[in-house]
Amino acid sequence: MSDTTIRADAHLPRQGTAAGGARPVVEVAVGILLQPDGRFLLTSRPPGKVYAGYWEFPGGKLEPGESVAQALARELHEELGLRIEPASVSRWREQLVDYPHALVRLHFCRVTAWQGALQMREGQQAAWERLPVRVQPVLAGTLPVLQWLGEEAACDKPPT
Ligand SMILES: Nc1nc2c([nH]c(=O)n2[C@@H]2O[C@H](COP(=O)(O)OP(=O)(O)OP(=O)(O)O)[C@@H](O)[C@H]2O)c(=O)[nH]1
């Protein structure tokens, strides 16, 4: 777990903070679908959703009783028509993000195998990207992943 909470759009008021109560944390499963050549899948947030048009890794909120892997498998199927096996999912990192609309804990998972052809079932767009990404704007809670992937790629390079 990263020990820093990202505060997105810090100038905007926070929803759900009335009466001084603790803000509930929304658990979110996020998939980093990696091709053998290093490309990864980004999708745009569908019209009508908060931060519509921003690019993110595919995924969504956990439903009651679901594990991260189960939620990810359900979301990838619902949103993109892809099937993944639990064995091809590995939990990677977590990040807490304080958005005006919600406080979310992102559970990032690496996914190396899937079945099916991409279907844009929610009117979103998809792009197989490598660093630096061409698509813009990228969601605040997605940016750290790009940094982590960049750090990994730098570590994998042989010394010059
Ligand atoms: N899937 C995904 N969500 C992310 C990423 N980064 C990030 O901050 N999030 C946040 O995690 C939450 C994902 O929830 P979601 O997409 O299922 O739900 P939503 O808020 O759009 O609402 P809804 O599905 O209830 O209509 C959103 O608040 C979104 O801003 C990311 O890379 N992928």
Kindly provide the ipTM of the predicted complex, given to two decimals.
Answer: 0.90
Q: Which protein residue has the closest C-alpha to ligand 1 atom 17?
A: 60
What's the pLDDT at 2? Answer: 63
Query: Is residue 95 assigned to a domain?
Result: yes
Ligand 1 geometric centre to CA of 29 (Å): 9
In sequence order, the β-bridge partners of residue 83 are 115
What's the pLDDT at 58? Answer: 98
Written as six digits, the tokens of 15 are 């929803």
Nearest to 106 by CA among 120, 118, 92, 117: 92
- The total domain count for the chain is 1
Residue 58: CB atoms within 10 A of its CB come to: 23
Q: Residue 140 in contact with residue 62, Cβ under 8 Å?
A: no
Q: pTM score, two decimals?
A: 0.93
What's the pLDDT at 156? Answer: 83
What's the pLDDT at 87? Answer: 84
What's the pLDDT at 141? Answer: 97
Query: Is residue 1 assigned to a domain?
Result: no
- Say how far residue 147 (Cα) sits from the centre of its chain: 13
Task: Point out the residues of the chain with pLDDT beneath 70.
Answer: 1-3, 18-20
What's the pLDDT at 1? Answer: 59
What's the pLDDT at 155? Answer: 87
Query: Is residue 53 assigned to a domain?
Result: yes
Q: Are strands 40-44 and 126-129 parallel, antiparallel or unpaired?
A: antiparallel
Q: Which atom of ligand 1 has the smallest separation from the CA of 51?
A: 30
Q: DSSP for 48-105?
A: TSTTTT-EE-SEEEPPTT--HHHHHHHHHHHHH--B--GGGEEEEEEEEEE-SS-EEE
> What range does the domain containing 39 cover?
6-156
Q: What is the CATH number of the domain that holds 79?
A: 3.90.79.10
pLDDT digit string (tens) for 52-75? Answer: 999 999 999 999 999 999 999 999
Query: What residues does ligand 1 touch, defined as CB less than 6 Å away?
Result: 28, 30, 49-51, 56-61, 97, 99, 102, 104, 106, 139, 141-142
Ligand 1 geometric centre to CA of 86 (Å): 21
Ligand 1 geometric centre to CA of 35 (Å): 23
